[in-house]
Structure 1
């Protein structure tokens, strides 16, 4: 049986103050600032709306992370905060210790209040705590940046929920005094006129991560390109499922792609570029990467058809030489030379942390040419080769070359080809024996953390068999 910790003196003081709500509102000017966070949490949980409204106006920290107190947006409480913010913006005189500049409505970790309040409290001197003077807003203060409201946005085809509808309406009426900021933006479904209207409300240079998960035609992507160009602080861009209609000519494809890539030149902070099922990429990878100005930390190209010229350019692109994460999953490499990848691994040997080559159709002979470069990637933590058809002999060589990579923590390999019979049916007993032998080979050099061997999906049920210190398999009938 667990024993709850007794309330702290600060919590008891806050509860005592809230027991007389009128006194709580009056005493905020004299309230020690270390009492503000616990008192706000207490008032929020008990629904003391008038106290909350006054606390927003007297908040002595630069940021009020209201979103951290809500599992999902609570419109009533958000309205209370917005009402308090309205009153604050309407005031000419503010307490000297008032610092609020950001209302944060994002869903941040629950322990954020404890960590955040302590961190900013340490920055406040005793002299600041004792001051209770008022300050007239002068020209310098009037010229400071507008107040900011932070949200994370997921835009879908369906209408906006009640919270976002209310927030956008409130913001439109005050946009001359406020900035609506969004660090993380996700778009699901084809962007509409309404989507573009929402994007025009945002302070686009506040966006740091964009994910687009929908079936876009190139023309739609080009129409949204100007918005991307305004996201000058963008750090991660993920674009998924861009299809090319059959009637689109090569000239039209070039023009549409040029509209998009020209915006990349404005992205001075982009470090992560991810493309999934972007069929427009084939034959144009050089054009896309050439317009990315900054060294990338993450390059992810998955489920994309590539041409010979695309593949060869990958090793020539100078901004991949500091890569930490390289993901080339589900790209058919069977008919390609892996020399460009070998060159790329050599150039990133001291920086690369993760390499994902899952389901690329890599053959025994191809992998053999890659092994010397792979053995020099001393910072690798995650390595995935599963989904490729490799023999027991090649897997032995692979593990021999990775055995001394001391940083490896997660390793995913295919089960040997010898695990299957002539018809391609999985033989669990043989698979278990071979994977145990390979695991023992690794343990001769180091103790692996996560080492998994995985088969192709079972033809009957679709499940994959996995070996991790023992075989985990489906219940389908198996060969004797």
Structure 2
């Protein structure tokens, strides 16, 4: 049997700090940077929530990377406490559903957090929320619709999350909740069809502060695109719309090789005329080819 590896002086010092929580917290302000990572690991593995909460407030590095520290259900409260104590508007939080890694990056002008069952946690006072490629579930959308932490969002990006019929009711509720603050909304590549977008239109037209709307690469028909424009042109603050190429422009949607550029040119001309008739020369409707 291998001999037990003796503890180093650093290990002993960290264990001593963890046994006396108040001293550990007081020592954080003057603690050498070299102590932060091993102390954080030991505090996380030992479940020292108060110490972790204070550590994230004074974290001295550009990035806090939790890789091998797998976040299981018992660590849910630890993760929640850490996020709730992040300095407001100074940290970006990204949680990967796939590999259990958390990054805290300073400084930053937005906060993003990936929701995933069962650990739906968001820091308070969010202004910007990026949830791209997150495989959001109906429960995630329902959580967002009910979460006071996102009630003041200015930017919401849900792109590259397939949306299904049950998702649109809570998504509509979320948009209504954000109608007074939301300025930038992205929902590209979400498989939103005519029926789904028609459900969202009543909520979208209530978003009077909206300046940018992106919903490219969704299977929308030309009649629905016309309906969307007719409903959105009265929004005087809305200046930029990134719209999907209508499905009739493709031989087989969404393969770019089957795109009929002549049909697309007719669509673009049609929308341009509509903007003129709506007296919205300040409004830009743009699409892009991938």
Measure, in 1, the Cα distance between the counterparts of 2:216 and 2:182: 19
User: Of the candidates 341, 349, 365, which is equivalent to residue 195 of structure 2?
Assistant: 365
**Which SS does the other structure have where 2:86 is aligned?**
coil
Higher RCO (C-alpha 8 Å, min separation 6): 2
Q: How big is the shift at 1:374?
A: 0.2
Please list the CA deviations of residues 428-467 of structure 1 after superposition, one character each: whole Å capped at 9, or x if unmatched: 1111111221232233221145421134xxxxxxxx2xxx
Measure, in 2, the Cα distance between the counterparts of 1:353 and 1:363: 23
Structure-to-structure mapping, 1:312-391, within 5 angstroms:
312-391=142-221
2:97 is the alignment partner of 1:278: yes
Q: Compared with structure 1, are the counterparts of its residues 268 and 405 closer, same or farther at alpha carbon in structure 2 (3 Å cutoff)?
A: same
- Counterpart in 1 of 2:141? 311
Q: Compared with structure 1, are the counterparts of its residues 276 and 268 closer, same or farther at alpha carbon in structure 2 (3 Å cutoff)?
A: closer
Number of residue equivalences: 237
Q: How big is the shift at 1:308?
A: 2.1
- Counterpart in 1 of 2:73? 254
Q: Compared with structure 1, are the counterparts of its residues 454 and 229 closer, same or farther at alpha carbon in structure 2 (3 Å cutoff)?
A: farther
Structure-to-structure mapping, 1:47-446, within 5 angstroms:
197=34, 229-232=54-57, 253-267=72-86, 269-270=88-89, 275=94, 277-279=96-98, 281-284=115-118, 286=120, 288-289=121-122, 292=123, 294-422=124-252, 424=255, 425-445=258-278, 446=280
Q: Compared with structure 1, are the counterparts of its residues 254 and 358 closer, same or farther at alpha carbon in structure 2 (3 Å cutoff)?
A: same
**Which SS does the other structure have where 1:339 is aligned?**
helix
Q: How big is the shift at 1:349?
A: 1.0
Q: How big is the shift at 1:378?
A: 0.9
Q: How big is the shift at 1:323?
A: 1.2
Measure, in 2, the Cα distance between the counterparts of 1:229 and 1:334: 40
**Which SS does the other structure have where 2:130 is aligned?**
strand
**Structure number with bigger Rg:** 1
**Which SS does the other structure have where 1:326 is aligned?**
strand
- Counterpart in 1 of 2:7? none
- Counterpart in 2 of 1:27? none
Q: TM-score, normalised by structure 2?
A: 0.68
Q: Compared with structure 1, are the counterparts of its residues 239 and 198 closer, same or farther at alpha carbon in structure 2 (3 Å cutoff)?
A: closer
Measure, in 2, the Cα distance between the counterparts of 1:350 and 1:416: 30
Unaligned runs of 5+ in 1: 1-177, 181-195, 201-218, 456-463, 465-480
Please list the CA deviations of residues 320-378 of structure 1 after superposition, one character each: whole Å capped at 9, or x if unmatched: 22111111111111354311111111111111111111111111111100001101111
Please list the CA deviations of residues 257-291 of structure 1 after superposition, one character each: whole Å capped at 9, or x if unmatched: 433222123236258765475346432353x12xx
| Larger fraction in strand | 1
Unaligned runs of 5+ in 2: 1-28, 101-114
Please list the CA deviations of residues 215-247 of structure 1 after superposition, one character each: whole Å capped at 9, or x if unmatched: xxxx99x67x9667534389xx9999x9999xx
Q: TM-score, normalised by structure 1?
A: 0.43
- Counterpart in 2 of 1:165? none
Q: Compared with structure 1, are the counterparts of its residues 378 and 254 closer, same or farther at alpha carbon in structure 2 (3 Å cutoff)?
A: same
Q: Is the 8 A contact 1:442 1:448 kept in 2?
A: no
Deviates more, 1:379-388 or 1:300-309: 300-309
